[in-house]
Structure 1
Amino acid sequence: MDDELRNLAEAIDRKCRLQGEFILRSGITATEYFDKYLFESDPALLRRVVELMIPLVPADTDLLGGLELGGVPLATVLSQVTGIPTVFVRKEAKKYGTRRLAEGADTARKHVTLVEDVITTGGAVRDATIALREQNAHVAHVVCAIDRSTDGAAALTGLGVSIRSVLTKDILDSTLR
């Protein structure tokens, strides 16, 4: 494994792995928790992740679609360094005001590359892909910081969406051994 990826994985783990008592989404109590927002709120660590995302962005990308909430800071910084405009993709369209699902540029007939922080099941990417395609966007790729899926994000099966990740579960696991 590349030293740069190993060092990044170690830095993210040091920053994000918390010890204590935590209630997980499943309702189970755990003594360890991975707080992904800690790497996204650290400017130096966020920049390191984004620098490694740049070559993963497909050449035909018209818009970067930052998924609510974790994909927004990544997409914003990625937009800054690539010059590709970004849109912020909500989990569901607002019920008031513009009533938009994606805030920013119009996504119709545009190649939108989704940007996500962590993919575990792929459910949020699936939902955003379907919703954006209903608005005539072309969605074929997602770029993520960490792909923690063990089954290739089964929720994306059959959607024709490729995952391009900076770090994977295997890289993280091998770094932490």
Structure 2
Amino acid sequence: MTVATAGHLAVRIATVACVSGSFELPDGRVLDSYFDEYQLAADPHLLHDVVDAMAGLIPKGAEVLAGVELGGIPLVVALSAVTGLPAAFLRRLPKRHGARRQVEGPTVEGRRVVLVDDVVRSGGQLLAMVQMLRVAGAPVADALCVLERPLGGRLLLSQHGVTLRPLLTEDDLPGGTSRAVS
């Protein structure tokens, strides 16, 4: 992707999916803006262009793309369609009925899985998915996201042997980064 193309895509993402307003994170910090992944996923043209760009971030040798509920699911479905790689779907907790699975889709055991999510902040959610997949026998060393917020996720994942490959960071968006208010 060229710098001009990346800049245009960043503007489109910011226009459609970056929302100003108070947003509380699970750890209690409050941000003055947030990334609304549902607005991105609801725009078929933007979703198509985002996953086309993200496809170039997938490392060679990837065998399965795994989307984290809920924001990573539309992305992993679209990425699977674009790349031909199978998609797996990850729940934070095992389903409470039926097959009671935490991983839906193809077998991940022994296969190189790449995690897919919408936004990475602290990295805690992705790390939990990495650990769950590793227990299931999947060697996980890479994670993709649309947007990386500078709240420690890259460092946390790196400390656990996972390379974060964001399409964009907050600095790439028009207007720069948002601030943690508390």
Whether these two folds match at TM > 0.5 is yes
CA contact (8 A) 1:118 1:145 kept: yes
1:60–1:134: structure 2 CA closer, same or farther, 3 Å change rule? same
Q: Tell me which stretches of 4 or more aligned residues in structure 1 moved more than 6 Å.
A: none
Percent identity, please. Answer: 35
Q: What residue is the counterpart of 1:90 in the other structure?
A: 91
Q: Which amino acid aligns with 2:129?
A: A
- Looking at structure 1, the residues matched to 31 and 139 of structure 2 have their Cα atoms a distance apart, in angstroms, of 40
User: Where in structure 2 are the equivalents of 1:95-106 lying within 5 Å?
Assistant: 95-106=96-107
Structure 2 match to 1:47:
48
Q: Which runs of 5+ in 1 are unaligned?
A: none
Report how many aligned residue pairs link the two structures: 173
CA deviations on 1:49-71 (whole Å, 9 max, x unpaired) are: 10111111112111100111111
Instruction: Quote the residue 2:5 is aligned against.
Output: 4
- Report if the CA contact (8 A) 1:64-1:84 is conserved: yes
The aligned counterpart of 1:76 is: 77
Paired with 1:119 and 1:28, the residues of 2 have a C-alpha distance of: 15
Question: 1:17 corresponds to which residue?
Answer: 18
Shift in alpha-carbon separation, 1:101–1:170, aligned structure 2, 3 A: same
Whether the aligned pair in 2 keeps the contact of 1:10 and 1:176 (CA below 8 Å) is no
**CA 1:57–1:29 in structure 2 vs 1: closer, same or farther (change >3 Å)?**
closer
Structure 2: runs of 5 or more not aligned: 177-182
What one-letter code is carried by the residue in structure 2 that aligns with 1:176? G
Cα deviation, residue 111, structure 1: 0.6
Compute the TM-score of the two structures, normalised by the length of structure 2.
0.86
TM-score (norm 1): 0.88
Alignment map for 1:71-150 (pairs within 5 Å): 71-150=72-151
